[in-house]
Amino acid sequence: MLTPASSATKPDPQDLLAWYDRHRRDLPWRAKPAETANPYRVWLSEIMLQQTTVAAVKPYYLKFLERFPTVEALADAPSEAVMQAWAGLGYYSRARNLHACAKAVVEKHGGRFPATEADLLKLPGIGAYTAAAVAAIAFNEKAAAVDGNVERVMSRLYMVEEPLPKAKPLIRSLTEELVPEDRPGDFAQAVMDLGATICTPKRPACALCPWMVPCRARAEGLQETFPKKQKKEAGQLRKGAAFVVLRADDTILLRTRPPTGLLGGMVEPPTSEWMPDYEPSRAVLDAPIEARWQRLPGIVRHVFTHFPLELTVLFAKVARGTPAPDDMRWTPRLQLHEEALPGAMKKVLVHALGELPGAKVKASGQKATKGA
């Protein structure tokens, strides 16, 4: 549902492009003016940026690109290397899909990304937004790439009263109407930049906006009330136990999670099941090996996308030569930073060991800003 247009003028894509030419952000994956965009870099950045901020992505992107400079290099890499390079970015199914997509591009397309939105959609892990973004930015196809920034800009521009996510089809349609025949890739990036730097969630800088005049929400002084959103139900708290074992040769017991599901393919110290009614006092019954277990004070808290988690940490020291249980292994403590450890498990290890060599981790108990 749209608020009546009244006397508002129609947004002009050329006004936005003129603003973009003066104020475009300098991003490591973005082609310079007059340069041709690299499809691999565009695709990689778009996957990394899903549910993650530009500031958080930049260092990961540069390191990832150094390690896997081409789609062929990524396709040829073992999955463990890809997951390790991704560790810390969260939403780990993206890394698995990224690897599968690279393999598909190499095996089915000779290492060249398809040039159309329709064909890009056929690749693993590429949804409507990513297909449109890559098609527009890398191949200059007239496609509407609608991310959270674009949804915010369009919902304010047209005063879309219908709440998200129900409003997504309408917002996409409104965006499609504005995409120009010339420079659709620059238009896609311009709307993203506008949402990220001017049309921000709080205190938008409307006076600097190239679409200030046609913006209906601004005209009514209601810009900060858009987009409308349905309230999310908080996920139920889950509890569990994590077991950190230090062997006398300075190695730590780890295991790799199953390849699918939450944190699929990532590495962790052994844990119990995570359940709403888990009883920490019985945690020792879930321990992976016989040892003199010490329950550490405090708990480790982490917030995933759909639920919060609280882990009680148990610590034990065992003799040199103690065998690892099936599907587990011993890893040198000083090499833990090379493992594909998600944020929650880094917190567990820091809680037990006091530090994680080579890694930057929030103190246990702090709320995570990204589901990992």
DSSP string over 23-35:
H----TTSPPTTS
Place of tokens 């699929």: 264
One of 35, 46, 338, 339 is an active-site residue; which one?
Answer: 46
H or E element, residue 222: none
66 is catalytic: no
Read off the tokens for 320: 């040199």
Identify the CA nearest to 319 among candidates 290, 284, 288. 290
- Residue 319 and residue 246 in contact, taking contact as beta carbons nearer than 8 Å: no
DSSP string over 237-285:
PEEEEEEEEEETTSEEEEEEPPSSSTTTT-EE--B---BTT--GGGGGG
Q: Where are the alpha helices (DSSP H) in 312-364?
A: 343-353
Identify the CA nearest to 139 among candidates 37, 240, 239. 37
Quote the CA–CA distance of 9 and 12 in Å, as a whole number. Answer: 9
Residues recognised as catalytic: 46
